Amino acid sequence: MRKSPSPLSLVLLGLGVFLLVLAPMLVWYVKPRAAVNPVDIDVTAVYEGTGDYFDVEETETLTDRRITVTQRVRGDVADSERSGRAVWDIVTTVDTDGSLPAADPHDALDFATARWVTDRSSNRPVHCCEERPYHEGEAYLKFPFDVQKRPYRWWDSTLGATVTLEYQGKQKVRGYEGYVFEGTVPPTRVGMRQVPGVLVGRERAGQVFAEEWYANHGIRLVVDQPTGRVLFARLGPRQTLRAPGAKEDAVVLLDVEKLTHTPATQEFAVDRAREDSARLRAVGTTVPLAATAGGLLLAAAGSALLVRGRPRES
């Protein structure tokens, strides 16, 4: 009597081999294509703090006032699909209680727009698609995927340059743990602005080109390790004017020592990070491990049955 393979052994062996092939495909092929910046993003982050700002109508700096910064990020799906990049348009407004709620963002204390274009996988800047302003660095609205415990170059749009943020350990935000990065910006001249001379201590001059200076008391970001999403942000912007060539500030335009994500912004960021991290973990770790274990068991069972076979007449 000769033995022939049973149908069950072939089925088990085939399923086992399939699962063993599936596991590395999920890790090396599917996960890298899942870990990409979205093109259809529509997210609003709100910061609040107490500080000083220059009131144009009062022509003086008002102190201890509530400051609200709203940053809305929307993806340009059409341009993203054409270019193969993540093209995001950003509108940032700085408001006081007097300009909130604002029907028109142009009524805010300050208003700025930008277009951020990145490689969807690496998060690196890509200089195309009407990007404005030109920017560099590794992170701005988010960090790259798979964040490491090392310094990162964070783009500061007010400074117009990158700031090195150092890894400082871990911190939980609403019960969810992330990596902490911190840095500061020393007083730096960032531009010129034409103003009445009297404003900067040059009473005899009509109009002068005052120097714009910027500093940051401290940048503290808590970042989700798998996705690079910012879970919590605290900034300390200080913007001032100096007379040409002066060593001291003459006017404070904005000074907020701690400008922090609101609880609602933190909650939204944590919820999204949980969902996205779980999805990446599933395709990169959980399912591949289960597929490998199941594939080995099924392949072993199928091989055993195949070796034993079933008798058949010669």
pLDDT in tens, 48-101: 999 999 988 888 899 999 999 999 999 999 999 898 999 999 999 999 888 776
Q: What is the pLDDT at residue 31?
A: 58
Q: What is the pLDDT at residue 294?
A: 66
Query: What is the model's pTM?
Result: 0.84
E strands along 97-245, which residues? 110-118, 152-156, 161-173, 176-196, 207-223, 230-235, 237-242
Range 247-251 contact pairs with CB under 8 angstroms and sequence separation of 24 or more: 249/213, 250/199, 250/200, 250/201, 250/210, 251/54, 251/61, 251/199, 251/200, 251/210
Q: What is the pLDDT at residue 279?
A: 82
pLDDT digit string (tens) for 182-211?
999 999 999 999 999 889 888 887 889 999
Q: What is the pLDDT at residue 1?
A: 47
Query: Is 233 within the bounds of a domain?
Result: yes
DSSP symbol at 208: E
Q: Could you write out the DSSP letters of every residue in 225-245? A: TTT--EEEEEE-EEEEEE-TT
User: Where does the pLDDT of residue 14 fall: very low under 50, low under 70, confident under 90, or very high at 90 and above?
Assistant: low
pLDDT digit string (tens) for 123-162?
999 999 999 999 999 999 999 999 999 999 999 999 999 9
| Cα(287)–Cα(182) distance, integer angstroms | 35
| Cα(14)–Cα(232) distance, integer angstroms | 48
pLDDT greater than 60 at residue 273: yes
| Residue linked to tokens 């348009």 | 89
Query: Is 288 within the bounds of a domain?
Result: no
Q: What is the mean pLDDT of the chain?
A: 86
Tokens encoding 40: 């259809």
How large is the average pLDDT for residues 240-254?
Answer: 94
Q: Which residue has the higher pLDDT, 2 or 69?
A: 69
Query: Is 264 within the bounds of a domain?
Result: yes
Q: Give the 3-state secondary structure percentages of the chain, helix then strand then coil, rounded to 5.
A: 30, 45, 30
Q: Which residue has the higher pLDDT, 47 or 34?
A: 47
Q: What is the pLDDT at residue 110?
A: 86
DSSP symbol at 139: B
Query: Is 230 within the bounds of a domain?
Result: yes
| Cα(199)–Cα(207) distance, integer angstroms | 9
Query: Is 307 within the bounds of a domain?
Result: no
| Domain residue limits at 262 | 30-278
pLDDT digit string (tens) for 282-311?
666 665 666 567 666 756 666 676 666 554
How large is the average pLDDT for residues 246-274?
Answer: 96
Query: Is 232 within the bounds of a domain?
Result: yes
As for how many domains the chain has, the answer is 1
Query: Is 13 within the bounds of a domain?
Result: no
Q: Which residue has the higher pLDDT, 12 or 230?
A: 230
Query: Is 306 within the bounds of a domain?
Result: no
